[in-house]
Amino acid sequence: MVTAADTVIALEMAVGDVAAVKEADMNGDGKVTSLDALMILQTATS
């Protein structure tokens, strides 16, 4: 289950505070960015 809290973790990955995991790469471009965090938030709230 994806939650809004996962968005915060993805943002921490995007800025390098937390090691990135491939599951957080929602758009499949090979990196975790704020766009991935947005996509996670949209998934969590739909």
Vertex 30 angle, CA 29 and 31, to 5°: 100
Q: In the block, which residue shows the tokens 């704020």?
A: 34
Q: Token pair for residue 12?
A: 């921490």
Q: In the block, which residue shows the tokens 């949209």?
A: 42
pLDDT tens for 22-40 read 999 999 999 999 999 999 9
pTM, full prediction: 0.92
Average pLDDT score over the chain: 97
Per the CB < 8 A criterion, the answer to whether 2 and 39 are in contact is no
